[in-house]
Every structure is written in C-alpha cells, then in structure tokens.
Structure 1
Amino acid sequence: MFIGVLLVITWLILLLRYPDKALPVSLAAAIGLGLVAVWVVWLDNRELKQLARLELRITYAPEHCPADRPLQLKMSNGNDVPLTELRWRIAAYAPGDTVNLAENLYAAPRYRGPGELQAGALWEDCLPLPPLRPGYRPQSLEFRAEHLQGSFSD
C-alpha cells in the first residue's frame, strides 16, 4: 500500500515538474492499461457465455442412484470447445420459492465436473445430497447448480 501511494505521488510530481516528458509516457501507460482491461473483460464475458451454454439438470432420483448419492446430474456441453474444469454448488428450492434450503457449510460436499467434457458431449453422474435445513424432505425440492466456475480449452 505504501509503495503504491509513493508511486502515485512520484508520478504526480514528475507530471507537474516535467509535463512535456511525463505526459506522453503517462498517456502511453494509460492506453496500455486500457487495452489490458478491455482484454480481461472480453475474456471474462466469453467465459460467462460458455458457462451459460452448459446445461445441468439435477433431479432427486434414489431409484437410479446409490443411497449415499441420490441426486442424478445430467450435463451437456453446448459449446464448440471442450470443457476442462467445472465446479459448482447445489441449491435446493421449494417449488415456487426463492429461498435456498441447502446449507452451505464448510463440511458440505464439493461438486466437480468430469474433468474434460468434449463439445456436444453428455455426462451423467450421481451426487451426494447437500445438507438441508431441518424440516425439508429432498423429494419435495428442486435442485439447481449455482456459482458455476469453469474453464474451457481454446
């Protein structure tokens, strides 16, 4: 923090004392920082669009999955590039409600994707149930994947 303040004060002194030399350098640095910022925003938006093209359906299906992992996940990659990594949290909602009934404790399960999922491919797996608030049964809830974080190969 101290070094940053010192650099800004030094830059202002140089800009006031030698404006003919410091102004072109400052403009070039500002343009460079602007280009880097535009590039970072573009990459972030591209990743958000790619994550939006993933289709994840989570259903409570104890008849198709083992007892310790009763949630059935079906994921399809609607992108034209392979998915390399994916992490998410599972939220549980009562039908028509907006309150998340899954408790996101430190000991809650961590959900990860298949590793590499090719473009247009489908992946199915069974997942453990997140801890639910007392008084709710999983068969009466809707489950959704939220807080998706992932990366795609180019």
Structure 2
Amino acid sequence: MLIGALLIATWVILLIRYPLRAVPISLGALLGLGLVAAWVLWQERREEHLLAQLELRLTYDPAACPPGQPLRVTLDNHSSSPLQSLRWEVAAYSPGSSLNLVTSDYDAPRYRGPGDLQPNQRWESCAPVPPLRAGYRSSALEFQAERLQGSFAD
C-alpha cells in the first residue's frame, strides 16, 4: 500500500511539474488500463454465456450407480466450444422448499466434470452425495448444481 501511495504521489508531482509530458503518458496509460479492463469483462461474459449453455442434471439413482456414489451426474455441452474443466457445488432441496439442506464441511466431496467435453456431447458419471443435515434422506430430496466454474477452449 505504501508503494501505491508513493507512485500516486510521484505521478501527481510529475503532472504538476511537467504537464506537457505527463498528460500524454497518463492518457496512454489510462487507455491501456481501459483496454485490459474491457478484455477481462469480455472474457468473463463469454465464459458466463458458455456456462449458461451447459445442461447439468443431478439425480439420486442408487440402482444405476456404484455403492457410495448414488448421485448420477449428466452433463450436456450445448455450447460451440469444447469444455476444458468444470467445477460445481451440490445443493439439496426438499420439494417445494428453498432451504439448502447440504451442510458445508471442509471434508465435503469436490465435484468436477470431465477434462475435455466436445460441443454437443454428453458425459455421465456417478458421485457421492454431499453431507446433509440430520433427519433428511437423500432419496426424498432434489439435487441441483450451483456455483458452476469452468473454462472453455478458444
């Protein structure tokens, strides 16, 4: 923080003392900073748009999945870019309720998607059920993926 304050003070002194040289340089730096900010915003919106085109379904299906991993995960990539990585958190809701019944433990399972999923392809897997609040059964709950974070190839 001290270095930042020192840089700003130096910039103000140079701006006052040498305005004909400092103003064009400052405008150039400001333009460069604006271009970097615009590029970052564009990348974030592109990623949000591509994540919105993913269809991720979670169903409790102990008959089709191995023991210890009764949560069936189905991911469809409807975007135009290959999916490189995907992470998400699982939320569990009682039908008709908006209260998340998953307890947030540090030892909760981490949910990750496939390493590479081409456009218009499907990926299926099984995953463990997250730790739930006491008194709730997994078979009576609806599971949803939340807080998706992913990256796509260019």
TM-score category by the smaller chain?
over 0.9
Alignment correspondent of 1:75: 75
Give unpaired runs (5+ residues) of structure 2: none
**1:88 matched to which residue of 2?**
88
2: CA distance, partners of 1:16 / 1:140:
70
TM-score by structure 2 length? 0.97
Q: What secondary structure is seen at the aligned counterpart in 1 of 2:10?
A: helix
Q: CA deviation at 1:19?
A: 1.2
- Aligned residue type for 2:27: L
Aligned to 1:65: 65
The structural deviation recorded for 1:103 is 1.2
Counterpart residue type for residue 37 of structure 1: A
Please name the residue that 1:27 is paired with.
27
Q: Work out the percentage of aligned pairs sharing the same amino acid.
A: 57
Counterpart of 1:13? 13
Q: Runs in 1 of length 4+ with deviation above 3 angstroms?
A: none
Deviation at 1:71, TM superposition (A): 0.5
Tell me the residue number matched to 1:50: 50
SS in structure 2 opposite 1:6? Answer: helix
Give the distance between the partners of 1:26 and 1:139, measured in 2 at CA.
62
- Per the alignment, residue 38 of structure 1 pairs with 38
- The 5 A counterparts of 1:137-152 are 137-152=137-152
Q: What is the alpha-carbon distance in structure 1 between the residues aligned to residue 97 and residue 120 of structure 2?
A: 32
Distance apart, 1:95 and its partner CA: 1.4
Partners of 1:15 and 1:133 lie apart in 2 by: 61
Deviations 1:41-74 (A, max 9, x none): 0000000111111100101111111120000111
Ranges in structure 1 where 5+ consecutive residues have no aligned partner: none
Q: 1:25: how far off?
A: 0.6
1:105 is paired with a residue of what secondary structure?
coil
The Cα RMSD (Å) is: 0.8
Give distance in 1, aligned partners of 2:48 and 2:98.
23
Q: TM-score, normalised by structure 1?
A: 0.97
